[in-house]
Amino acid sequence: MKVLTLAAACLALVSGTVLAEPMTKPGLWEIRVDKQVMDGQDMAAKMAAMQAEMQKRMASMPPEQRKQMEQAMGGRGMGGGGSPNTHRICISPEMAAQDKPVMQGDSRCEPTKTTRIGNKMIFEMNCPG
């Protein structure tokens, strides 16, 4: 069984203000993964290093090839700046009502421990594997 630990700082972009209320509000949120540990290894650091290497390689490509690569990647931040550990997500009213961490991709993951401090949500989750 793999345990994945995330420390996510959620910055609300709703109405251009940071929400400090304990309840999650619907709207556009920016989620930054500060730490992601799987089986004792810091996966967030590995992903950041991999993305930095990919950006370095893409910078040395001819413009046509770089454009093809960016299109093939679906515009996943490989040339548009931004952090590899930062994601934007639209929280629906239904998702906000659950008031728990939003899981992207693998819906088998369940939060096991959640702590809120201001606009930050720190949580651990278990992803059976």
Q: At 32, phi and psi to the nearest 5?
A: -115, 125
What are the residues whose beta carbons fall under 8 Å from the beta carbon of 93, sequence distance 6 or more? 26
The pLDDT of residue 56 is above 80: yes
Give per-residue burial for 24-36: e unless 16+ CB within 10 Å, then b.
beebebebebeeb
Average pLDDT over residues 42-71: 88
Residues 97-112 pLDDT 10s: 887 777 665 567 878 8
Confidence of residue 80 (pLDDT cuts 50, 70, 90): very low
Average pLDDT over residues 1-13: 40
Instruction: Delimit the domains of the chain by residue range.
Output: 2-127
